[in-house]
Amino acid sequence: MAAKEHVPDHEELALMQRTPAVIAPGHTFESVTDSISSIVLTKRTTIGWFFGFALAFMFLMVLNMTIGKLLLEGIGIWGNNIPVGWAFDIINFVWWIGIGHAGTLISAILLLFRQQWRTSINRFAEAMTLFAVACAAMFPLLHTGRPWLAIYWLFPYPNTMGLWPQFRSPLIWDVFAVSTYGTVSALFWFTGLVPDMATLRDRAQSKAARVIFGMLSLGWRGSARHWQRYEMAYLLLAGISTPLVLSVHSVVSFDFAVSVLPGWHATIFPPYFVAGAIYSGFAMVMTLAIPLRKFYGLEDFITMRHIHNMTKVMLATGMIVAYGYANEAFFAWYSSNAYEAYMMLNRMTGPYAVFYWTLIAINAVMIQLFWFRKIRENIPLLFVLSLLVNVGMWLERFIIIVTSLHRDFLPSSWDMYYPTRWDFAMFTGTIGLFFSLFFLFVRFLPAIAIFEMRTIVPEAKLKQHHG
Amino acid sequence: MSEIKDIDALRAQLDGTRGKEYWRSLEALSGTPEFKEFLHREFPQNASEWLDPVGRRGFLKLMSASLALAGVSACTRQPTEELVPYVRQPEELVPGKPLFYATAMPFAGAGMGLLVESHEGRPTKIEGNPDHPSSRGATDLFAQASILGLYDPDRSTTITNLGDIEPFSAFVVAMRSVLAAQLSKKGAGLRILTETIASPTMAAQIDDLLTRLPAAKVVQWEPFFGHNAREGSRLAFNEYVAPQYAVEKADVILSLDADFMCVGAAGLRNARAFASRRRAENTGTRNRLYAVESTPTNSGSRADHRLPLKASQIEGVARALAAKLNVPGVAAVSVSGEAASKFLESLAVDLQGARGKSLVIAGDSQPASVHAVVHAINAALGNVGQTVSYTQTPEARPGNQIASLRELVGEMNAGTVDFVLILGGNPVYTAPADLKFGDALAKVRLRAHVGQYEDETAEKCQWHVPEAHYLEMWSDVRADDGTVTIVQPLIAPLYGGKSPHEILAAFAETGGGERPGYDIVREYWAKQTGLSTAAPAAPPVVVAAPVPAPAAPKAPPAGAAAGVGAGAPAAAPAVPAPIAAAPKPALSPFDLAWRKWLHDGLVPGTAFATRQVTLQGAMPPAATPVGDGLEVVFRPDPAVHDGRFSNNAWLQELPKSLTKLTWDNAALIAPGTAKRLLLISGDVVELKQGGQTVRIPVWLAPGQAADTLTLHLGYGRTRSGRTGTGIGFAVNALRTTGAPDTLAGVQLTKTGDNYELACTQDHGSLEGRNLIRVATQAQYTADPSFAAKMQEEIPKTLTMLPPRSYEGYAWGMAIDQNVCTGCNACVVACQAENNVPVVGKSQVANGREMHWLRVDRYYTGDDPDNPDTYHQPMPCQQCESAPCEVVCPVSATTHSDEGLNDMVYNRCVGTRYCSNNCPFKVRRFNFLLYGDFTTESYKLQRNPDVTVRSRGVMEKCTYCVQRINQARVASKLDDREIRDGEVVTACQSACPTEAIVFGNLNDPNSRVSKLRANTLNYRLLEELNVRPRTSYMAVVRNPNTTLEPAKPTNGEERG
């Protein structure tokens, strides 16, 4: 178990005995750099990659077609109606934004908390964040009736008419929250990539790769001054990102909490949404990490330790989410408000009850499996469970949005919502976009932070001890 | 050829030169005229230019300019159009300011007095005529929707003979030859089939024709209204008379299957009269309404006691009641069922106690014998002369329409009819199935159809002449009380339609066959009144303008100028005009009267005098045997009537008042019966009787009598238009002359198919919510502010903001649920006023209907087969702290300083958050491009004061802000405040019962403020602190305590 090159201190030893290592034994600076950079630079692109990318790209084209039809005909191609003014559009928005949260949490908060195990998953988790935000940001724009106007009227820009957005509207807060989030995530991700770009530049075989990576590495030479500034910038960005983990989904939850609708108007929404976001985000990281480590032989870097830790985070946040469900039900009764009570009853026994109970089964019951070590170590099962968690979290948004809207105050306006094929096309289309970007990412950029991995090989510790 | 010749000539010229005369080039030769000629032949116009380096550029310029100009002018020469401004602006015509003209809508044998709003010559909106006795300023839904019918692009546009387009003169020639042939036979082969004639002029024309052709026959056929009432009056009094009800005088009213407040010519008047005793602010005694009905009606929904009973059993109730009231000549009949006999017992006592102040009304679909018994009951109760009086019928030629139609079909089949003129109506579709009218018609040698559409009847006729819409023609019509209104056109016929008068003129002795309807109507009335049509020889210097502006209790929207027909000048303050006023022609005595009639919308003194009638001694025997098994009752569709409005998209999309179905008809069935037959809404069943079958989906209708299916006619049209063709289910196959109203012994088979019906309100229960607050009279007397007590306690700390204050106007609306019958006139009026688009069945099924105003219908009570029904009109509540406003990211919905939630369409990006956050869900979203921007004719209908909304934009009720602004302009011109009642919203103005009151809440004396102060006033969802500007009046029922023992105020709605 223990590394041969150095004598581990007792702290490390203790850690290693309890849990698997964050990097498999036997790795050196060279082997780490080789195995990660080779994916980009030397290894042949596999048939599997082409197949996967083609599939994802096909769905991306479905997205393009859907957006084309949407712009030509209007959002009436979806199933939204009155009273259900929001449906798949906002469900998908919240779902994607939520997924993004794990990336930021891993890169920023775990960095500040000096959780070394984040190192091997933070890069692709950040990429996941970025791509998820890209998917998410599409919906608030495209769900509007007139996106060609919404795209700039929602931003506060000085104009001769003196017209400003309405700052009391949570949708405006959303615009700020999501655009800030997108910008900071992109910066954070790119900053983290710079030293690795330099590595790739140095090891690139082809001229084109050298030029491209050379430009992207922004003249990185690895000097001590560079490292010093890099560390400071990265830490600052981590500091900026950290509140975003909490704020973005809190703001998203305000879209609902600020309204008067039973089922939306709840003070628990911000923490409940943030926990849900992290929960679903880690599920997505797991969904991506399990095949990634398998197909690219990265088991040495994404080890069982990571898997364990991620399931634990999911267990914790999943329990918060389950508490949120219990809380909603409790207050529906405790408030003795007829509308709240009916809302809860309708969720449990109404026409969409099957979705509510599926959601409870996944997010409150199934999650308890993560208490068991055996389950935490069963990789194929974890893959399935992580997919189910994503389904559960999507259903949670469906329940919150659709069941609250479809039966509110006046029974006369109650109606049902049924999605159309274009609702599904739009949703699967964004999944296609997400995976297209992700496939390109793992092929053309180091999916694991090489230089950060180098800091956790035993060699680095040795130097530390001796230097 | 000529070129070759020229080349030959050139050669000849060259040949002719002497010796070595060289030519270097063509240039050298070009000096000769022949060569120039040659060049000009080859390049006819600009040949020489090619050779000139400067000229070529000029040529290219010319060329391009002429090409461009060729493109401009295309192939057709543009007509010379001269824009000529008014030299003298007509006094009453101000662009942008609508004019109102009085006219009337003839419908099913009577007229409804209307004021029609006209924008620069385009009629755009129908209002009731406040001076007219039958409408009193209100309208029904058909009148409201008729404006769309005027602009229907599917109306027939050409006169055709066997498909070939013909001029009207050809039709007249054809008619004259028919006439000539018939003269010798005294018209024995001539038949004219019309709808019920309510036009005195038309009646006179027909009388004239029949005098000359005594053997000719005029047959009237109206699929609904009046058959039984007419025959009932003949049974009772041995003459055709029309009962005129004074509903306002009645303390106790019994309706026997009658929708007397919503259907028929007197519906509007009855509804207004009934409401006068039920209003929230009513201080006198409330009346009490008992309803015994086979199918739920709007009138029945306002009943204090309602007994659902099979249609065939209602006669038994009428007779049993008559026996209890000691009506002579009626044998006692026992009524089966404990509930029914208890009902009857209490009813009889109640009616006895209100002698002379009670009223019994029989419905159109009840057999004639029931009408006769009811006449006798009213007489026995001493109501005649009090709450009911008798006059002659508004229809000019009353008769047994079913018998005469049957006779006509017999003659057609026998081949004795040479020519039939179908003047309006669509008998091939509407005639009872057993007559096989279409087949019989085909046996007539020459057939002509005059109608607005090329419909099923037009298809079977050689000649088809487009009929003018009533807004396009001169005519006259009697209202149910006899009052005559001159129907004046608002616009020249859009599609060259002809009025029935112009058609009948072809058969007239004088006038040569073609006469304008204007002349015909005027001639009749000149003759009738005996007034001279000759202008005075020496006109006085100033002719007194005979047209005062209509001083009316309910004025048309403020700012509207009162106009009159035929360009008569309106009284106007004398302002020195820059251009001399047009010389006013001297008016004849007739013209003076005529102009006043046109202006007022009625001919004074034409209302019928009360007629003394004597009951025939013996009562007729019971007409309908009480059968077992399923029974079918036939009714006109609440939206498209007998099918005549089936191409009217507003009416198709109108949620039918009690079922909330759109775009279809369905067989209504009681929930209990459906449960027994294992049916749910949408199940397609096959109804079979007498070898005829009808396939139709069922719809569960609470309040429907057990074992009774209601079938609405008007659907399943095969030739209606792009809106109405092929939708719904034709049920005519089951309707026969023997059983035009009630069909017994129907067999029902479940087909197993399911049909999707588009319903706008899936949920009729209140779910225990305090949205409709109801108390009985006793509870109300004990606790007048019961409605406030049903309000959930509002936390005092609900808001930390101070209440907003409103200077100036604070608009508000109060809706009296006591009198709302759910007749839907307001919904269509709103649609017409506010350019509300139609979305089609699939969009309605998906919950995307666009009506700004909906009428919610709730059922309460324990028995789904006999619930209490309430109607709650739901416009935008215009909340003072509106949840929609704060959530809009672009401030597209904002609060005005008068308290309105304004919608800024231009700013809206369509996030729909406002709708999600609206607790009343009154906002409507243009999910697709619903507005019709392409149909030219519909563009004329649009209200120019209201934006036509485009795709992706949210919209909602504005409290008719355009009408508020018109009133504001008018008041500012006069330097005064807007008066109470000056702003009348479209829904308010259409409402027959004046259930909707609008006004300024800051004015303590306004009607709406007074209603607000009423103890019955409450606002919906007050616990949300949205503070709606729209409030509702709690319902006070007036049940008979022997039937419904008094309960203490329960503080909870009865849900």
Cβ burial of B946 (10 Å; 0-12, 13-18, 19+) is middle
Q: CB-based contact (8 Å) between A153 and chain B? A: yes
Maximum pairwise Cα distance, chain B? 142
pLDDT in tens, B145-166: 999 999 999 999 999 998 899 9
Is B65's pLDDT higher than 80?
no
How many Å from the N-terminal Cα to the C-terminal Cα in chain B?
101
Mean pLDDT of A424-431: 94
Between B509 and A358, the higher pLDDT residue: A358
Tally DSSP H helices, then E strands, for chain B. 32, 39
Is B684's pLDDT higher than 70?
yes
Predicted complex ipTM: 0.90
Query: pLDDT confidence of B580, banded at 50, 70, 90?
Result: low
Q: How far apart are CA A222 and CA A220, in angstroms?
A: 6
Mean pLDDT of A393-406: 93
User: Is residue B206 within 8 Å of residue B719, measured between CB atoms?
Assistant: no
Cβ burial of B521 (10 Å; 0-12, 13-18, 19+) is buried
| Closest Cβ opposite residue A81 in set B846, B856, B951 | B846
Mean pLDDT of B803-813: 88
- Kindly report the nearest CA distance between residue B927 and chain A, in angstroms: 4
User: Is residue B91 within 8 Å of residue B567, measured between CB atoms?
Assistant: no
- Res B54: pLDDT: 59
What is the helix (H) or strand (E) element at residue B100, kind and residue range? strand B99-107
> DSSP strand E in B629-691: where?
630-636, 661-662, 667-669, 683-689
Which residues in chain A are closer than 8 Å to B764, comparing Cβ atoms? 411
Q: Which of A56, A192, A183, A176 is closest to A125 using CA atoms?
A: A192
- Res B3: pLDDT: 46
Mean pLDDT of B325-333: 79
Cβ burial of B320 (10 Å; 0-12, 13-18, 19+) is buried
Least confident residue range of A288-302, B33-47, B822-836: B33-47
- Would you call A414 and B888 a contact, using CB atoms and an 8 Å cutoff? no
User: Is residue A311 within 8 Å of residue A20, measured between CB atoms?
Assistant: no
| Closest Cβ opposite residue A74 in set B764, B792, B952 | B952
The neighbour count for residue B862, using CB atoms within 10 Å, is 7
- Kindly report the nearest CA distance between residue A172 and chain B, in angstroms: 5
Which residues in chain B are closer than 8 Å to A350, comparing Cβ atoms? none
User: Is residue B488 within 8 Å of residue B103, measured between CB atoms?
Assistant: yes
pLDDT in tens, A8-54: 555 555 455 555 566 666 777 777 777 777 777 777 778 888 999 99
Cβ burial of B538 (10 Å; 0-12, 13-18, 19+) is exposed
Q: CB-based contact (8 Å) between A258 and chain B? A: yes
| Closest Cβ opposite residue B916 in set A79, A172, A261 | A261
Residue the block writes with tokens 């680095």: A460
- Kindly report the nearest CA distance between residue B717 and chain A, in angstroms: 29
Is B41's pLDDT higher than 60?
no
Cα dihedral value B602, B604, B607, B608, nearest 10: -140
**CA–CA distances in Å: residue B292 to residues B94, B305, B310, B495, B866:** 53, 8, 9, 46, 11
- Would you call A415 and B764 a contact, using CB atoms and an 8 Å cutoff? no
Q: Residue A457 has which token pair?
A: 């090989």
Q: Which of A413, A417, A422 to mutate to test the interface with B (most CBs of B within 10 A)?
A: A413
Which residues fall within 8 angstroms of residue B960, CB to CB, at 6 or more apart? B557, B833, B834, B983, B985, B986
- Res A81: pLDDT: 92
Q: Which of B42, B20, B18, A373 is closest to B30 using CA atoms?
A: B42
Cβ burial of B233 (10 Å; 0-12, 13-18, 19+) is buried
- Res A467: pLDDT: 37
How many Å from the N-terminal Cα to the C-terminal Cα in chain A?
25
- Res B2: pLDDT: 44
- Res B587: pLDDT: 83
User: Is residue A158 within 8 Å of residue A119, measured between CB atoms?
Assistant: no
Percent share of chain B, pLDDT over 70: 86
Which residues in chain A are closer than 8 Å to B761, comparing Cβ atoms? 412-413
Mean pLDDT of B715-727: 89
* Sequence letter at residue A287: T
The neighbour count for residue A48, using CB atoms within 10 Å, is 10
Which residues fall within 8 angstroms of residue A94, CB to CB, at 6 or more apart? A136, A252, A273, A397, A401
Is B82's pLDDT higher than 70?
no
Is B666's pLDDT higher than 90?
yes
Q: Count Cα atoms within 13 angstroms, Cβ side, for A56.
A: 17
- Res B1029: pLDDT: 92
Q: Checking DSSP bridges between strand B99-107 and strand B561-562, what pairing results, if any?
A: parallel
User: Is residue B134 within 8 Å of residue B113, measured between CB atoms?
Assistant: yes
Mean pLDDT of A362-373: 90
Q: How far apart are CA B62 and CA B43, in angstroms?
A: 15
- Would you call B920 and A409 a contact, using CB atoms and an 8 Å cutoff? yes
| Closest Cβ opposite residue B887 in set A84, A170, A418 | A170
Query: pLDDT confidence of B827, banded at 50, 70, 90?
Result: very high
Q: How far apart are CA B750 and CA A112, in angstroms?
A: 71
Mean pLDDT of A334-349: 90
pLDDT in tens, A92-101: 999 999 998 8
Is B583's pLDDT higher than 80?
no
Which residues in chain A are closer than 8 Å to B848, comparing Cβ atoms? 76, 81-82
* H-assigned helices in B421-537: 427-430, 437-442, 456-459, 500-505, 517-529
- Would you call A76 and B848 a contact, using CB atoms and an 8 Å cutoff? yes
Which residues in chain A are closer than 8 Å to B910, comparing Cβ atoms? 75, 144-146, 150
Q: Which of B992, B651, B1030 is closest to B875 using CA atoms?
A: B1030
pLDDT in tens, A103-113: 888 878 777 77
pLDDT in tens, B223-249: 887 888 888 888 888 889 999 999 999
Is A434's pLDDT higher than 50?
yes
Q: How far apart are CA A387 and CA A280, in angstroms?
A: 9
The neighbour count for residue B107, using CB atoms within 10 Å, is 23
- Res A300: pLDDT: 78
- Kindly report the nearest CA distance between residue B842 and chain A, in angstroms: 11
Q: How far apart are CA A252 and CA A249, in angstroms?
A: 5
SS3 label, residue B462: coil
Is A4's pLDDT higher than 60?
no
Which residues in chain A are closer than 8 Å to B921, comparing Cβ atoms? 82-83, 408-410, 413
Between B627 and A380, the higher pLDDT residue: A380
- Would you call A413 and B952 a contact, using CB atoms and an 8 Å cutoff? no
Average pLDDT, chain A: 86
SS3 label, residue B695: strand
Q: How far apart are CA B45 and CA B474, in angstroms?
A: 61
Percent share of chain A, pLDDT over 70: 92
- Would you call A145 and B925 a contact, using CB atoms and an 8 Å cutoff? yes
Average pLDDT, chain B: 84
Q: Residue B33 has which token pair?
A: 């005229």
User: Is residue B110 within 8 Å of residue B103, measured between CB atoms?
Assistant: no
| Closest Cβ opposite residue A338 in set B764, B768, B907 | B768
User: Is residue A252 within 8 Å of residue A174, measured between CB atoms?
Assistant: yes
Mean pLDDT of B250-261: 91
Between A204 and A394, the higher pLDDT residue: A394
- Kindly report the nearest CA distance between residue B846 and chain A, in angstroms: 6
- Res A50: pLDDT: 92
| Closest Cβ opposite residue B917 in set A74, A154, A260 | A260
| Closest Cβ opposite residue A154 in set B890, B915, B953 | B890
- Kindly report the nearest CA distance between residue B921 and chain A, in angstroms: 6
- Would you call A342 and B925 a contact, using CB atoms and an 8 Å cutoff? no
Least confident residue range of A26-30, A104-108, B124-128, B623-627: B623-627
DSSP-derived secondary structure letter, B760? S
Is B76's pLDDT higher than 80?
no
Mean pLDDT of B1044-1052: 58
- Res B121: pLDDT: 85
- Kindly report the nearest CA distance between residue B390 and chain A, in angstroms: 43
- Res B570: pLDDT: 42
- Kindly report the nearest CA distance between residue A318 and chain B, in angstroms: 28
Q: Which of B6, B740, B73, B200 is closest to B435 using CA atoms?
A: B740
Give CA B321 to chain center in angstroms: 37
- Would you call B925 and A146 a contact, using CB atoms and an 8 Å cutoff? no
pLDDT in tens, B874-904: 999 999 889 999 999 999 999 999 989 999 9
Which residues in chain B are closer than 8 Å to A168, comparing Cβ atoms? 886-887
Q: CB-based contact (8 Å) between A415 and chain B? A: yes
Task: Compute the count of residue pairs across chains A and B with CB atoms less than 8 Å apart.
Answer: 170
Is B811's pLDDT higher than 80?
yes
Is B550's pLDDT higher than 50?
no
Mean pLDDT of A244-270: 90
| Closest Cβ opposite residue A261 in set B908, B917, B954 | B917
Is A5's pLDDT higher than 90?
no
The neighbour count for residue B57, using CB atoms within 10 Å, is 11
Q: Which of A72, A78, A81, A414 to mutate to test the interface with B (most CBs of B within 10 A)?
A: A81
